[in-house]
Amino acid sequence: MAMPQKDAGAHATSIGDSYGGPNLISPDMYRQFVWEHEVTLAQQVQEYGIPWSLHICGDTTHIAADMGRTGARILEIDWMVDMGAVRRAVPAETVLMVAATRE
| CB under 8 A, 24+ apart: contacts of 2-10 | 2/41, 2/44, 2/45, 2/48, 2/50, 2/52, 3/45, 3/48, 3/50, 5/50, 6/48, 6/49, 6/50, 10/50
Residue range 7-57, pLDDT digits in tens: 898 898 999 998 999 999 999 999 999 999 999 999 999 999 999 999 999
- Give residue 101's pLDDT: 63
Side chain identity at 74, as an amino acid letter? I
The H or E element that residue 77 is part of is strand 74-77
pTM for the structure as a whole:
0.90
The domain locations on the chain are 2-8+20-98
Residues forming beta bridges with residue 74, ordered by sequence position = 53, 95
